[in-house]
Structure 1
């Protein structure tokens, strides 16, 4: 059975919601799907004072977990147009897997969230994709089979480089149904691609 990992970091819960939608899309193909998060770097007292969402159900991932999957879909909120330090630190620890070629040929994809409509979503997606390419992974984007990314009558995330959502400057905006549909579509396409490559 094709095994998919949805690996994410989410300070305020928006990326967590997107991760679960991606998992739904992948599960619909019959794949085995796990959702895991990368460890938090800040002390719990700082996380609480910053109103981080600390009650996330997903277990923390380890670097060795990455070996066990045919596809890894990576998501994190933007930090000034790039990935969060929590995700960067986690991926930086995968040098041993890189040296072994342990991730070569696995399928990879990216997703993100940002506070504003032009808050660095595409550069963040590319910062994730750059890592995945260095790991030797085959990249799948959010292709235009998902027409929801082309709508103009509503503010929405989504680009050919990955699924995304816009949280609003105060974090009050939650992923819309269109953004969640894009996430589910990405999960489905990644799983289908992994099945073709590793089936």
Structure 2
């Protein structure tokens, strides 16, 4: 039975919540998954300083029960779902620092070549440009490592992706969530459903490989 590593960075509960629903979808399909959290970066950003002064403090790895993502995690697993909170249409610094600081040797050896991944995201606003661009930019890293990308597509979530009466941050590139400009919007029932659908579809795709 293939085991999926769900690899996330979550500064609040949004991506962690989405990851739990991706995991639930995998389990519905009869699979198994474990969630890992990207290591914290030790500096405090200007935004985080402002949030602390206003009484809102960003979460750290210590606030979550997940194991910390390492190079060994990537090597030991063949299937990944990456959870990324979009920052200006790209990785947040924690994700970028992990790739740059930990995977150069893996790239040189081709250690991740042929492994399979999907992506899910959150973004601050309801337009999909930010989250779609985040996935596209993340794919550059996957391509350099030779990781095969599996998109969500429309087949398994057509109703949710085409519903104009409900905000849904998901797109054909991957499941998503609109978190609000202040990261204070909880994922909707529709968004959580799409993440479960993505987890299930991803596992259905890999279970016979």
TM-score normalised per structure 1? 0.91
Output one character per residue of 1:87-130: Cα deviation in whole Å (capped at 9) or x when no partner: 11112221222222221221111111111112611111112222
State the match for 2:184 in structure 1.
172
State the match for 2:117 in structure 1.
108
Residues 107, 193 of structure 1: 8 Å contact kept: no
State the match for 1:20 in structure 2.
20
1:185 aligns with 2:191: no
* Deviation >4 Å, runs of 4+: 43-48
The DSSP-based 3-state class of the residue aligned with 1:76 is: strand
Q: Aligned partners of 2:111 and 2:205: how far apart in 1?
A: 19
1:20–1:44 CA distance, 2 compared to 1 (3 A) = farther
TM-score normalised per structure 2? 0.87
**1:43: Cα distance to partner?**
4.9
**1:14-163 superposed matches below 5 A:** 14-43=14-43, 49=52, 51-54=57-60, 55-92=63-100, 93-118=102-127, 120-145=130-155, 146-147=157-158, 148-163=160-175
Higher Cα Rg: structure 1 or 2?
2
Residues 109, 129 of structure 1: 8 Å contact kept: no
Higher strand proportion: 1
**1:70: Cα distance to partner?**
2.1
Q: Aligned partners of 1:194 and 1:130: how far apart in 2?
A: 22
Q: Which moved more, 1:158-167 or 1:130-139?
A: 130-139
Structure 1 unaligned residues grouped into runs of 5+? none
Query: How large is the RMSD of aligned CA atoms in angstroms?
Result: 1.9
Q: Aligned partners of 2:16 and 2:10: how far apart in 1?
A: 6
Residues 114, 121 of structure 1: 8 Å contact kept: yes
Q: Aligned partners of 2:88 and 2:20: how far apart in 1?
A: 24
